[in-house]
Amino acid sequence: MASAARTVLVTGASRGLGLEFVKQLAARGDRVIAACRNPGAVPELKAMGAGVRAAALDVSDPLSIKSFVADLGGEGVDVLINNAGLMGEDNRVGAMKLEEMRRIFDVNTFGPALMTQAVLPNLIKGQRKLVVNITSTLGSISAGMPGMSYAYCASKAALNKISAKLAWDLKSMGIIVVSMCPGWNKTDMGGGSAPLEPKDSIGRILTMMDTFGLADSGTFRREDGAVVPF
């Protein structure tokens, strides 16, 4: 059963899994702050009604983060879902390019870290106090697989470490931090051959999120509930 209505901030909310998070959160009655680079270009967000507030945010730009948080003011945030992410094309030795790798780390690793830091006062004011970092099993050093983007895999491995460290540092404040892998989904990033449907994966993640407590902080979970080795 869904919990009482909460204020949930979702980054990367313009498409794919981020947009699916917004849809399902709004449908169950939560107040959603849907953050993405160009919210005016996402008609689905406009059509969701008063429960969804679209906001401009580029998680790779510190000035954008600062402006976004200034607009939040002292509003409490119950849940932060750091969902924004990029995939790379550097899936073999010889294809790695510094500029692309930096861009992917800016979004996939540094973005969630800086967003969590910036939104911390709002999370402290919230009731739920939960941070969910959307990661990937490809970021598991022990459970990864070959043939995928070097930058993407490495950025997610680094994000997992940041999640674990945030969990240690924020536990005394009652803030829960969890890494969640949504699995391989049929999205622009995942492609049409992916085995999972976003509506099913996100539904399972939201159900799990409602059960997380401080004992779960610092863990790395898959959308089916399995614990993933770091």
Say how far apart CA 112 and CA 106 lie, in whole Å. 9
Higher pLDDT, 193 or 211: 211
Query: Are the beta carbons of 113 and 91 closer than 8 angstroms?
Result: no
**From 3.90.640.10, 3.40.50.300, 3.40.50.450, 3.40.50.720, which CATH number describes the 7-222 domain?**
3.40.50.720
Higher pLDDT, 170 or 191: 170
Q: Angle formed by the axes of helices 150-170 and 111-125, to 10°?
A: 30
**What is the per-residue pLDDT across 11-32, written as a single tens digit (0 to 9) for each?**
999 998 999 999 999 999 999 9
- Tell me if the pTM is above 0.75: yes
pLDDT at res. 1? 41
Which candidate in 156, 161, 165, 171 is catalytic?
156
Q: For the chain, which residues make up each domain, given as ranges?
A: 7-222
Quick one: average pLDDT of 144-162? 90
**What is the per-residue pLDDT across 66-119, written as a single tens digit (0 to 9) for each?**
999 999 999 999 999 999 999 998 889 999 999 999 999 999 999 999 999 999
Active site residue 156: yes
φ, ψ at 66 (rounded to 5°): -60, -45
Query: Are the beta carbons of 177 and 120 closer than 8 angstroms?
Result: no
pLDDT at res. 151? 95
**How many CB atoms lie under 10 A from the CB of residue 43?**
7
Name residue 1's amino acid.
Answer: M
Active site residue 150: no
Which candidate in 152, 161, 165, 186 is catalytic?
152
Query: Are the beta carbons of 29 and 5 closer than 8 angstroms?
Result: yes
Say how far apart CA 160 and CA 152 lie, in whole Å. 12
Residue 194's Cβ-count burial label (10 Å; 0-12, 13-18, 19+) is middle
